[in-house]
Amino acid sequence: MNEKLARKFTGFSCLTAAVAFIVEVPLYFVYDGAPPDWNVLARLLIGILALGALLLFVTGFRELIKSVGPQHEWIGGIASAAGLAYVVVTLISSGLEAGSVIATDHPIDPTITVSGTYILYGSIGRMLLGIFLAALGYAIGRTRALPRWTGRSAYVLAAINFAFIPSMFFGNKPSFFYAANGWGTTASIGAILSYWLLAMSVSTLRSARRAPLTAPVAAMRTR
């Protein structure tokens, strides 16, 4: 994959994930108490699509780092592996929630009722996302593949995620900011991530306009 294509693929995947996450997050705050099944399933469906786009983004980012700085491909690989693990863990959490809602004959709030997702969405998710963001920030800093602010902001978000790893010790009340499934541990991080992804996508797509052709492609164009 040449550099220009890698930037476009990464940028559009990131944009798709960002838009889907931005639509999904508010659906968690529409109802007080147990939401109707359609609300839960709709937000999970949007989230599943967002995670699919995020999977493409982390794969594209690895290819971008490989194109810009082949000697730093290893850190792009770490970012890609951590991002993939985060996607898989979150998809499992979504599957547990959807299955419980479908199997129950009355409305439930899966963020409370489905206890198996507390640590997956919370501490485990925060650890994996933190590693992904830290590796992404380091890769950008070493290769200058994207503007400096993208790498620095990734470090800040990584630190925030790492700060929420101990939330597993603070109960399971979503109204408590720092609970295992609290609005700070899950929803707030999701909202921050979605808008960061939106900014990242714009920056990546803008950089694609200025990206040089790789040598093999440039040679073909001059023939």
Contacts of 121 (CB under 8 A, 6+ apart): 90, 93, 181, 185, 186
Give the pLDDT confidence score for residue 23 in this predicted structure.
95
Question: For the chain, where are the alpha helices, taking DSSP H only?
Answer: 3-24, 37-68, 73-103, 110-113, 118-119, 125-143, 148-163, 189-210, 215-222
Q: How many angstroms from the chain centroid is the CA of residue 220?
A: 37
Give the pLDDT confidence score for residue 187 in this predicted structure.
86
Residue 85: pLDDT band by 50, 70, 90 thresholds? very high
- Record the pTM: 0.90
Mean pLDDT of 32-57: 94
Residue 93: pLDDT band by 50, 70, 90 thresholds? very high
Condensed to tens digits (0 to 9), the pLDDT of residues 65-75 reads 999 999 999 99
Mean pLDDT of 116-123: 90
Task: Give the integer Cα–Cα distance in Å for 71 and 200.
Answer: 23
Task: Give the integer Cα–Cα distance in Å for 150 and 182.
Answer: 27
Give the pLDDT confidence score for residue 217 in this predicted structure.
38
Q: Is there a contact between 111 and 174 (Cβ–Cβ < 8 Å)?
A: yes
CA distances from 47 to 68, 163, 198 (A): 31, 24, 15
Helix 3-24 to helix 37-68 angle (10° resolution) is 160
Contacts by 79-84, CB closer than 8 A, 24 or more apart: 79/132, 79/135, 79/136, 79/139, 82/128, 82/129, 82/131, 82/132, 82/135, 83/54, 83/55, 83/57, 83/58, 83/128, 83/132, 84/55, 84/58, 84/59
